[in-house]
Structure 1
Amino acid sequence: MSTVALPARRAPDTQAVVLMVALCAIWGFQQVAIKSANASVPPVLQAGVRSAIAALLVWGWTRARGVPLFRADGTLAAGLLAGGLFAAEFVCIFVGLTMTSATRMAVFLYTAPCFTALGLHWFAPGERMRRTQWLGISVAFAGMALAFADGFSHRGPAADTHAMLVGLAGDALGVLGGVAWAATTVVVRSSTLAHVSASKALFYQLAVSAVVLLALAAGIGQIGQLELRAITPLAVMSLGYQAVVVAFVSYLTWFWLLTRYMASRLSVFSFLTPLFGVTFGVLLLGESFSSRFLAAALLVLAGIALVNAPAKRRV
């Protein structure tokens, strides 16, 4: 297999910082876009269409640049696994957002960096965790436990038990989405996919997930539930945002940054994404949260920051 020499990765400069903040805002807004479209497009079908559109865009992009996607290189098995996990992640996100708020989903989903660190510790050579990272995971998990406790109590003693359980199920799907996201990252980092172009790794995830999600949507009757007359302009714009801006432009930009800047320094910005997600949920959807959930979110953010903190250099 031929390899391409990449420039030495460096610390983020002003351009990288601006791009990373923009990416975190884009990813944080994603939950709002999904929830806005869920009212007129069934969630699993919506996720499948999103992946299909983005996969076609990546295919066109790679074709225009002469990057081969279908050359046999021994990555098929890993690509199918990564695509399946990617599909599972978005089933959890899209279905979960029909049960819980975008604000809560943003916090639970973005525990993913902590699960990623655990997965790489176990499955990727040279990715052993430091004491600071173990502390970060403990802090984040404490925040997650506090957030679940808030889900049991924030509606008060007279709460509708069914509504409370539905909300907690949505929260749990957010965590499972984070686990699936982390598992996808571990597969990409520790398998043959680590040696292919970023475009091909992304195409595997989008194309396989499109097939899986559309087949699942058909199997559970969501395609038949779709009413074209009920699709609002907001739903169309939300779906376009997810497919073009998030799944195509932002993911390719992220992979481009990884080829030029140190991944450990870029990952520090990940704590901004749930912060943006909570802010957009409150401002645009009118969602609210309790002081206990705010404390839980701050613990999760602190844990993410500790997990991504750079190692101290020994003198």
Structure 2
Amino acid sequence: MTEKRAIDGFGATALIGFSALLAFNQVVIKLTTAGIAPAAQAGFRSVGAVIVLLIWAYARGIRFTVPRAALGWGILSGFLFAFEFLCLFLALDLTTVSRASIIFYTMPVWLALAAHFLLPGERLTGIRILGLALAVLGVVIAMGDRSNGQASLAGDILALLGTLGWAAVALMVRATPLSQTAPVTQLMFQVVISAPIMLAFAALSGPMIRDFEPVYLLSLAFQSICIASLGFLSWFWLLTIYRASSVASFAFLAPVLSVILGWLVLGEHIGPLIWVALVMVATGIFLINRR
């Protein structure tokens, strides 16, 4: 087995760019909820991702192969993916980008905690326990800060449920027979199964289109191509080149950049406690992924 490289200049640039892309995506989702209901937006995004992945696989001559042992886990991952993004998109409809991002991007915290009990060789060390404690306390501070009129406890809780769903998907990919399948197959499971679930939820929960404008179609194209399909495939590709721990250490950038973009682009008011929570969560994620 070829040893994976430490992060070099190209890797750092790519990972910083991907974190910025994820952060910008939160702003895009928030803006698009004015025209497309959150669940419908998430469902349409998955439909678009299916189309992009099929085109990409055809162009590269890739076949989707699934071991029988992984089939059930793949289906379950699709349901969890639907749950994750329903929670996130609804959260962004109810609360600010800064609050939702601080909570949602704590996924490495919950994954590290679950891995401590379920994955061999993933025990929490002293420094990782400190990071976990800092991040959890940061989430508590963020959820406890009600000084902003845009704050929504329901939105905060949905963001927390969403990140728990994300951690469950990540754990499943590592700890079940689903790990025997290619990343493109794992991603296809998630978007194919999640699309009808989220669209059905959207159809039952009210009007799917709130205010049609062409810009919202561009938003869906951006989310489908740059995030839900090729974006995550690029992330998986980076994982094949660089050490997983080094790649994961860049996760702390996403909530930082999301908060800054929410402030700059959306004009969100960010109180002192939210900045404190952000620093604690970002530091905690960095310590958890530090080797």
Name the structure 2 match of 1:23: 18
Name the structure 2 match of 1:146: 141
Name the structure 1 match of 2:157: 172
Measure the CA separation in 1 of the matches of 2:42 and 2:165. Answer: 15
Q: Kindly report which structure 2 residues correspond to 1:126-205, keeping only aligned pairs within 5 A, or say none.
A: 126-151=121-146, 154-155=147-148, 167-205=152-190
Name the structure 2 match of 1:118: 113
| Cα-to-partner distance string for 1:178-235 (whole Å, 9 max, x where unaligned) | 1111111001110111111111011111111112111222233444xx26xx312332
| Cα-to-partner distance string for 1:12-46 (whole Å, 9 max, x where unaligned) | 11111110000000001111010111011111011
Q: How far apart are 1:67 and its partner, in Å?
A: 1.9
SS at match of 2:145: helix
Q: Report the TM-score, using the length of structure 1 for normalisation.
A: 0.88
Q: How far apart are 1:123 and its partner, in Å?
A: 2.0
| Cα-to-partner distance string for 1:151-184 (whole Å, 9 max, x where unaligned) | 2xx14xxx7xxx76xx111011111111111111
- Does structure 1 conserve the Cα–Cα contact (< 8 Å) formed by 2:116 and 2:122? yes
- Does structure 2 conserve the Cα–Cα contact (< 8 Å) formed by 1:7 and 1:260? no
Larger Rg: 1
Q: Report the TM-score, using the length of structure 2 for normalisation.
A: 0.95
1:216 to 176, 184, 201: 201
- Does structure 2 conserve the Cα–Cα contact (< 8 Å) formed by 1:105 and 1:171? yes
- Does structure 2 conserve the Cα–Cα contact (< 8 Å) formed by 1:45 and 1:222? no
Say whether 1:109 aligns with 2:104.
yes
Q: Kindly report which structure 2 residues correspond to 1:31-42, keeping only aligned pairs within 5 A, or say none.
A: 31-42=26-37
Say whether 1:98 aligns with 2:79.
no
Q: How far apart are 1:129 and its partner, in Å?
A: 1.8
Name the structure 2 match of 1:270: 251
Q: Which amino acid aligns with 2:289?
A: N
Q: Which amino acid aligns with 2:39?
A: V
Q: Which amino acid aligns with 1:32?
A: V
Q: Kindly report which structure 2 residues correspond to 1:38-57, keeping only aligned pairs within 5 A, or say none.
A: 38-57=33-52
Q: How far apart are 1:269 and its partner, in Å?
A: 0.6
Q: How far apart are 1:71 and its partner, in Å?
A: 4.7
Q: Which amino acid aligns with 1:250?
A: G
- Does structure 2 conserve the Cα–Cα contact (< 8 Å) formed by 1:103 and 1:277? yes
Name the structure 1 match of 2:274: 293
Measure the CA separation in 2 of the matches of 1:125 and 1:211. Answer: 36
| Cα-to-partner distance string for 1:49-99 (whole Å, 9 max, x where unaligned) | 001110121122122222221555431111111111111111111111111
- Does structure 2 conserve the Cα–Cα contact (< 8 Å) formed by 1:36 and 1:234? no
Identity %: 36
Count of paired positions = 291
| Cα-to-partner distance string for 1:234-259 (whole Å, 9 max, x where unaligned) | 32222111111111221011000011
Measure the CA separation in 2 of the matches of 1:231 and 1:193. Answer: 39
1:245 to 226, 231, 234: 226
SS at match of 1:125: coil
Deviates more, 1:280-289 or 1:118-127: 118-127
Measure the CA separation in 1 of the matches of 2:269 and 2:98. Answer: 8
Measure the CA separation in 1 of the matches of 2:66 and 2:172. Answer: 20
Q: Which amino acid aligns with 2:177?
A: T
Measure the CA separation in 2 of the matches of 1:249 and 1:18. Answer: 17
Name the structure 2 match of 1:206: 191
Name the structure 2 match of 1:3: none
Q: Which amino acid aligns with 1:39?
A: A
Residues 72 and 299 (structure 1), Cα distance of their counterparts in 2 relative to 1, 3 Å cut: closer
